[in-house]
Amino acid sequence: MVNKEFWKGKKVFLTGHTGFKGSWLSIWLSSLGAEITGFSLSAVTKPSLFEICQVENLIYKSVIGDIREYHPLSEAMQTSQPEIVIHMAAQPLVRESYKSPVETYMTNVMGTVNVFEAVRQCQSVKCVLNVTTDKCYDNKEWVWGYRETEPLGGYDPYSSSKACSELVTSAYRDSFFNNESRKVAVATARAGNVIGGGDWAVDRLVPDCIRSLSADESVQIRNPNSIRPWQHVLEPLSGYLLLLEKLFEKGSDYAEAWNFGPDESDAKSVECIVQMMCTKWSDSNKGYEISVGDHPHEATYLKLDCSKSKKELGWRPRWCLEKTIDQIISFSKADPNKETLLDLCLSQIEEHQVT
């Protein structure tokens, strides 16, 4: 369980705080009493969890900026003098990476370089967590889960760029942060497909599904047989927080890569997820259709082996897939006139921790 006393008063620098995962993490860290400085582009979706929950008012400072620009990033970090840096800002979509490969590499690779360069100049930083993705592995369509020691790779620009981000992290850890003159505990986190309430991104299965169901339209799915490690957003976030506690207190003992994914039984197909959502949404929904067309390549089978995180961090997934879908639908059907989405986020965080 996340240690509230540890986080109280901790100075945290969080990139990507306006995004889906970043907003959830900002809300959680704020509830724990952390002093958060966020650095990110403006929220890219309308609506966005960041704006609806007024996350800017929950944190110490929100800086709108681009991690591809080093000087504003470094200045913001120097001003905030954080103890902990969490790097989550990214171009996070596979299909978008086919459309904008240069932007994807600039953001996910050079953006990571800029973050670590800023850390080099900021002596207050004690630990850094770079959040990458499960897609950083060289996917061989194995039926078993990938371990942290498997080779990195990536067919599409997004996956490849995240593998590059992992290599950048390793190089900076070995070259600059693991010597007598400067000790900074640096780790990476590789999470499975994260879903949850408050995600309005385009070209993501669950938000697309919610939009269709809300509009009483048939859900369109591209790759019904693709299997992914689906998990509620709070699952990996809890792992990040536990890992950061260890990095801060134990240093280099935990400065490596870590997987965070669901139990094997919850690695389900796209079609299974959509069937569950349609069934739970209402009896009168229009179901789903398989979209026929020329779609760019996406991996068919992907699972993570999270044995190391379970054994060495004491982390575990707390919600099964059915519980996760229930929480998403409850969030999506909430009446803003009767309850705020911030209250829903906080109640789900509390429920997750006591499960």
Specify the CATH number for the domain of residue 185: 3.40.50.720
> How many angstroms separate the Cα of 243 from the Cα of each of 19, 150, 192, 203, 252?
21, 20, 16, 30, 12
Residue 318's contacts (CB-CB under 8 Å, 6 or more residues apart) are: 234, 235, 238, 352, 355
Does the pTM surpass 0.75? The reply is yes
Res 210 pLDDT > 90: yes
Convert the pLDDT of each residue in 53-98 to its tens digit: 999 999 999 999 999 999 999 999 999 999 999 999 999 888 899 9
- Give the model's pLDDT for residue 203: 83
Looking at the predicted structure, is the pLDDT value of residue 337 above 70?
no
pLDDT given at position 224: 85
- The bridge status of strand 231-232 relative to strand 194-195 is parallel
Helices first, then strands: H and E counts in the chain: 14, 15
What is the band of 293 on the pLDDT scale with cuts at 50, 70, 90? low
Amino acid at 276: M
Which position has the higher pLDDT, 11 or 290? Answer: 11
* Structural domain boundaries enclosing 120: 4-354
Total of domains in the chain: 1
Cα–Cα separations (whole angstroms), residue 48 to 91, 198, 346: 16, 7, 17
Q: What are phi and psi of 28, to 5 degrees?
A: -65, -50
User: Percentage of the chain with pLDDT > 90?
Assistant: 80
Predicted local distance difference test score (pLDDT) of residue 179? 86
Give the integer Cα–Cα distance in Å for 145 and 212.
32
The band of 338, judged by pLDDT with boundaries at 50, 70 and 90, is low
